[in-house]
Amino acid sequence: MDKAAQKLGEEAVEAVIAAVRGDKQALVSESADLLYHWLVVLGIAGVPLDDVLKELEGRTGRSGFAEKASRPRD
C-alpha cells in the first residue's frame, strides 16, 4: 500500500502543477494517471468505487463547508 499511496500522491502533485501552469494537455494526461493510481489504492484498500460514488451522491447540493460540518468528530 505504501508504494501505491506514494505514487498516488506524486500523480496528484503532477496534476496540480499542470493545472497551475494552465497546460491542458498535461492536465488531461496527469488526471488520467491520477485516476488510475487512485483506483489502484482503492482496490488495495478493499474500498469499492461504488462506496465512493454513494458518498458523493450524499454530498450533492451541499456546500463543502456544510458537508464537512456534518462529518462525525473523532
Q: What domains sit in the chain, N to C, each tagged with a CATH number? A: 2-69 (1.10.287.1080)
Phi-psi region of 46 (alpha: psi -120 to 50; beta: other; left: phi over 0): left
Q: Would you state the pLDDT for residue 65?
A: 73
Q: pLDDT band for position 71 (50/70/90)?
A: confident
**In this structure, are residues 60 and 70 in contact, taking their beta carbons and an 8 Å threshold?**
no
What is the percentage of the chain residues whose pLDDT exceeds 70?
95
Note the pLDDT tens digit of each residue in 17-43. Answer: 999 999 999 999 999 999 999 999 999
